[in-house]
C-alpha cells in the first residue's frame, strides 16, 4: 500500500462553534469580506449572529451579498471589486457551496489580474497571493469547506467549470450544525444527496486511496440513515450534525480522489440550465448512471445495494449490483428527488448538445465504464422523463 494524503484546512466542528468565527478571522488581519446570498427572513438571524460575532472581535466587515446559486463570473468579479476597494485581508464564505465557492473565487480574483474565469483548472493556477479563505458551511452537501475547488458558471457560454488548486483550500472551516436547522426540506434533500454522490463516486475513482474510501463509506452510511431523519424533522440537531459530518467526510474523499460520470453530467446540466440545483441535477442522472456502470464495478455497487437494503446481504454480488439502480430510485423517491430533465423544461432537442457538454470536464473519464458520446446521449434520454411509482 502506498499513497499520499494532503488536507491543509483546519476544521472547527460542532454545535455553537460559529461563535469562534471572529477570533478565527482576526488571525488574518482586521478587515474581512463576508460573502453571502442576499438576506431573506429565514437567513436574517444567522447573518445577524455572524455579524455580531465579527463585530465583537473588532473586525471591520464589508458584506458582499450578491451570491447566486450556481455562481457566475459576473457575481464573483463584483465581489472581488468590493474586496479590493475595502482592502480586505481575508474572505469569509457563509452559506452553501455557492457562497463558499464564491468566497474562494473572490479570494483569487481580488488579488490577480483579469477575471476569476482566467484561473480555471486548465488555465493558469492561482498563486499564493490568494487571500486567506474562511468557510462557514450552512448546507450539508458540497464539502466545499474542505476542498480545493471553486465552481463557477459562465452564462455566456453556458459552461460550468472550476478553479481547482491547493491555494483555494480554506485556511479554516467552521461546520456548525446549528446553522443548518433552517434549511428547507427541498435544499436538505438536494444537498444531502450531493454528499451521497461525492462519497460514492470517490470510491469508484481510480485515485481513491484507503483513507478516502474509509471517509466515503462512512459518509454514505450516514446519508442513508440520517437524511430521512433530517427531512422528517429539520430541527433534529443530531441528524443535522451527522449529515454535517457526512458532508465533511464526503469533501475529504473528493478532495483526495475526485468524482466521476454523474458529476460531469451534473455540472453540464447546471451550466446549461442554472435553475437546476446541483444536487437535483445529480439525482436526475443517478439511476441511469448506476444501470450503466454497475457491472463494471460489481463490489462497489453490491456494497451500496446492501447499505440501501439489508436484505441484499443474502444475494450474490452480481445480483446485488444489478438491484442497485432500483434501490437508488427508491431512495430518491423517499427523499422526493425522483425527477427527470423534462421536469425542468429542458428542451429535448438540446440533448445532443448537452451530451457533448457532459464530456467537457474530465470527470466522466474516471468512471469504471467510460461513456462514448452516443452512450452519453442515451443516458440523458433515459433520464429525461421518469415516472414515480404511486
For 301: left if phi > 0, alpha if psi spans -120 to 50, otherwise beta; the answer is: alpha
> Is residue 182 a contact residue for ligand NAD (CB under 6 A)?
yes
Per-residue x/- mask for ligand NAD, residues 22 to 61, rule CB under 6 A?
---------------x----xx------------------
| Continuous segment of H or E residues that includes residue 57 | none
Between CA 251 and CA 253 the distance in angstroms is: 5
From 23-31, 75-83, 116-124, 181-189, give the range in contact with ligand NAD by CB under 6 A: 181-189
The answer to whether the beta carbons of residues 290 and 256 sit under 8 Å apart is no
Which of 22, 79, 93, 95 forms a contact with ligand NAD (CB under 6 A)?
Answer: 95
70 contacts ligand NAD (rule: CB under 6 A) = yes
101 or 288: whose CB is closer to ligand NAD?
101
Instruction: Rank residues 75 and 142 by Cβ distance to ligand NAD and give the closer one.
Output: 142
Residues 301-340 that bind ligand NAD (CB under 6 A): none
The DSSP code sequence of 227-248 is HHHHHH-TT-HHHHHHHHHHHH
Distance CA 29, CA 137 (A): 22
Contact pattern for ligand NAD over residues 97 through 136, marking x by CB under 6 A? xxx-x-----------------------------------
Q: Please select the residue that binds ligand NAD; options are 179, 249, 305, 312, rule is CB under 6 A.
A: 179
The residues, any chain, with a CB within 8 Å of residue 89's CB and separated by 6 or more, are: 28, 29, 30, 31, 32, 131, 132
202: its cell numbers: 470517490
192 binds ligand NAD (CB under 6 A): no
Query: Is 9 near ligand NAD (CB under 6 A)?
Result: no
State the DSSP code for 354: H
Please report which helix (H) or strand (E) contains residue 265, including its range. helix 261-272
Residues that bind ligand NAD (CB under 6 A): 37, 42-43, 69-70, 95-99, 101, 138-139, 141-144, 147, 149-151, 179-180, 182-183, 187, 191, 194, 270, 278-279
Amino acid at each position: 500500500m502506498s499513497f499520499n494524503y494532503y488536507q491543509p484546512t483546519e476544521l472547527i466542528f460542532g454545535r455553537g462553534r460559529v461563535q469562534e468565527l471572529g477570533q478565527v478571522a482576526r488571525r488574518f488581519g482586521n478587515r474581512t469580506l463576508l460573502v453571502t446570498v442576499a438576506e431573506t427572513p429565514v437567513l436574517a438571524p444567522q447573518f445577524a449572529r455572524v455579524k455580531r460575532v465579527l463585530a465583537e472581535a473588532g473586525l471591520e466587515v464589508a458584506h458582499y451579498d450578491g451570491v447566486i446559486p450556481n455562481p457566475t463570473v459576473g457575481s464573483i468579479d463584483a465581489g472581488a471589486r468590493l474586496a479590493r476597494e475595502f482592502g480586505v485581508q481575508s474572505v469569509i464564505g457563509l452559506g452553501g457551496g455557492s457562497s463558499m465557492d464564491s468566497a474562494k473565487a473572490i479570494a483569487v480574483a481580488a488579488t490577480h489580474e483579469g477575471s476569476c474565469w482566467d484561473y480555471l483548472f486548465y488555465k493558469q493556477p492561482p498563486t499564493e497571493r490568494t487571500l486567506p479563505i474562511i468557510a462557514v458551511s450552512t448546507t450539508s452537501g458540497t464539502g466545499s469547506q474542505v476542498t480545493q475547488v471553486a465552481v463557477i458558471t459562465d452564462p455566456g457560454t453556458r459552461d460550468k467549470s472550476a478553479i481547482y488548486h491547493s491555494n483555494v483550500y480554506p485556511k479554516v472551516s467552521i461546520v456548525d450544525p446549528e446553522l443548518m436547522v433552517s434549511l428547507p426540506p427541498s435544499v436538505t434533500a438536494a444537498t444531502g444527496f450531493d454528499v451521497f454522490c461525492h462519497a460514492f463516486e470517490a470510491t469508484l475513482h481510480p485515485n481513491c486511496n484507503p483513507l478516502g474510501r474509509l471517509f466515503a463509506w462512512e459518509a454514505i452510511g450516514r446519508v442513508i440513515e440520517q437524511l430521512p431523519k433530517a427531512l422528517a424533522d429539520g430541527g433534529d440537531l443530531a441528524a443535522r450534525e451527522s449529515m454535517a459530518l457526512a458532508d465533511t467526510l464526503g469533501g475529504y474523499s473528493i478532495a483526495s480522489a475526485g468524482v466521476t460520470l454523474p458529476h460531469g453530467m451534473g455540472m453540464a446540466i447546471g451550466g446549461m440550465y442554472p435553475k437546476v440545483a446541483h444536487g437535483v441535477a445529480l439525482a436526475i442522472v443517478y439511476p441511469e448512471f448506476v444501470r450503466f456502470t454497475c457491472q463494471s464495478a460489481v463490489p462497489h455497487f453490491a456494497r451500496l445495494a446492501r447499505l440501501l437494503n439489508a436484505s441484499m446481504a443474502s444475494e450474490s454480488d452480481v445480483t446485488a449490483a444489478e438491484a442497485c439502480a432500483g434501490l437508488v430510485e427508491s431512495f430518491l423517491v423517499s427523499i422526493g428527488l425522483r425527477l427527470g430533465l423534462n421536469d425542468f423544461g429542458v428542451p429535448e432537442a438540446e440533448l445532443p448538445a448537452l451530451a457533448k457538454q457532459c464530456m467537457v470536464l474530465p470527470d466522466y473519464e474516471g468512471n469504471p465504464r467510460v461513456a462514448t458520446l452516443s452512450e452519453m446521449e442515451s443516458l440523458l434520454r433515459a433520464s429525461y422523463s421518469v415516472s414515480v411509482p404511486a
